[in-house]
Amino acid sequence: MYKKNIILNSAKLGFCSILIAASVYGALGTEVITAEASSNEINTKVAQQVVSQFKDVDKGNYAFEAINWAKDRGIVEGYPDGTFKPNESITEAQFAKMLAEFLKIKDEKGDLIKYTPDKHWSDTYYDGLASYGVPLNGYFENSLRNTAVKRGVIAQTIGHMTGNANALSDSIYYMIGEGITTGQNPQFEGTDLFKFFGSNNNLTRGQVAAFLYRMHNANVDSATGISLLAYKNEEGLSLVGQANKGMSKLDKSLRVGKLGSETPVTGGGNNDGNTKPNPPVENSPDYNDAKLPVSETAKSVDVETVNKLVDSLSSSTYQKLKDSGREVTFTDAGSTVGFDKNTFVIKMQSGNYKGSVSYKKTDNPDLIVGIVKDLYGISIPKNEVFSSDKGTIYTSKYMIESYGSTLLISIGDFRAK
C-alpha cells in the first residue's frame, strides 16, 4: 500500500524535473523517497520498495517472488539488519523452521531429550518434526543443527513429507517430476543422478525458499491435504524413537550424526533436573527399504544400490533371486551387490566390461540366465552356465570362466582387435 503526490507541469515545460514524495507502508515501516527522475523511473522504484521486503533481495534475484511469498506466509523472518542473505548456505536448523512453518506442524508431542541439552532456538521445530519421523540429522546434537544441510537431505525430507518417496533416488526423481528442481549439474544428466542433483552439495536460503514456493504452486503444501499430516505412529514409538526412525531413513552418504538413546540415565543435568540422555549410539543401519534381504552382520550395504539392481530385473528373475534365500552382505561403488560372504556377486558395471556375475555350481541356472538377460540383454544357453567340464567359453559378447566351484560370467566386447 502506498500513496503518492506528483507535482507536474508537463504541458509548458516538456521534460522537466519532477518532485515526488512517496510514502511506503508495509512490513518495512514508513519510508519517504524524494528524487528527480522520469515518472517511469519513479514508478519502478516505488514498486520495488513496496514489494521488496528485504533490502538485499530485489527483482533481479531469481528467488525474488519465492522469498517474499515465504515472508508473507511467516516461513522466514530474515535478519535484524533487514537482510535475508539469499546466497548464504542454509543450516539444518533454519531449514527445520522453514519446513515446520510451511507445513504448519506444531510442537505438541513433548520435548526431545538431547545429547547436548542446552536450549537451541530451533528446539520447538525439531520437536514437532520428530513426531512425524522427518529425515534430519540434528535431532540430538545442537552442533549439527548449526551446520549446512545437504541437498540430498532436503530431497529425502520432501519425498517423505509428501508421502511419495523414501530412498534418495526416488526422492530426487519425484522432485524433478514435479518441477521442484531442475538439477544442479546438467553435465551428469542421464549418467549420474546424484551428481546431477548435487546430493552432497549445500543449498542456499534462496534455493530452499524456491523449492517450497514451487511446491506451494503445485498444491503440495499443508493446506491441500499433504500426506505427511496424516502420518500415524502405528509402531507406538516415543518421540526419540520417531526421531531415530527419521534419521535412519537418510541415505548413508548423508548421515552425519548419531542416533539418540531411548533410555534416560538418572543423575541430573538436563531440562528437568532428574534425567539426562545416554551418550548416543552409533547409527545402526536401517535396511527396511531394501528390496532384498540384508544380512544382520552386513556393515557396508547401500540400499540405493540394492534397489537399483532389483529395479533392473524382471519380476520373475527378482522372485528367483528372493527364493534363493541369499542375503546381501555388501555393496560397492554403486554398481556391485554381494551375497552370502561373496559367494554370489553381481556387478552391473565392471571396469572395461559391461558387468559380471560370479556364482556357485549349486546356483539355479535359470536365475543366472535371467540376470544376464535382464541386466545386459544377452541370452546365454542354460547348458553353458556351468562350464567346468568345457573349459573357458569364449564368445564375442561374453566369457564364462571356471575357478573350481566358482564360475564367472563376464559381459563385454570380446571380438578380436
Beta strands in 341-416 (DSSP E): 344-347, 355-360, 393-394, 398-403, 406-411
CA gap 341, 307 in Å, rounded: 19
Q: What is the mean pLDDT of the chain?
A: 78
C-alpha cell at 39: 515518472
Residues in contact with 10: Cβ distance below 8 Å, sequence separation at least 6, in sequence order: 16
Q: Give the burial class of 145: count Cβ atoms within 10 A of its Cβ; 0-12 exposed, 13-18 middle, 19 or more buried.
A: buried
CA gap 125, 107 in Å, rounded: 7
CA gap 103, 155 in Å, rounded: 16
- pLDDT at residue number 362: 86
Report pLDDT digits (tens) over 110-138: 888 888 778 999 999 999 999 888 999 99
Assess whether pLDDT exceeds 90 at residue 413. no
Assess whether pLDDT exceeds 80 at residue 279. no
Bridge partner list, 399: 394, 410
Residues in contact with 413: Cβ distance below 8 Å, sequence separation at least 6, in sequence order: 396, 397
Q: Residue 350, Cβ neighbours under 10 Å: how many?
A: 18
Confidence band of 381 (pLDDT split at 50, 70, 90): very high
How far apart, in Å, are the Cα atoms of 37 and each of 8, 48, 198, 341? 12, 15, 45, 78
Confidence band of 332 (pLDDT split at 50, 70, 90): confident
Confidence band of 370 (pLDDT split at 50, 70, 90): very high
266 vs 63 pLDDT, higher one = 63
Q: Residue 236, Cβ neighbours under 10 Å: how many?
A: 6
CB of 240 within 8 A of CB of 128? no
Summarize the confidence of residues 298-311 as an average pLDDT: 86
Report pLDDT digits (tens) over 79-90: 889 999 989 999
Among 120, 106, 218, which Cα is nearest to 162's? 218
- pLDDT at residue number 27: 30
For 357, phi and psi rounded to 5 degrees? -135, 125
- pLDDT at residue number 232: 63
How far apart, in Å, are the Cα atoms of 406 and each of 20, 258, 335, 378, 385? 88, 40, 21, 21, 11
Report pLDDT digits (tens) over 210-228: 999 999 998 887 655 555 5
Stated as kind and residue range, the H or E segment containing 214 is helix 205-217
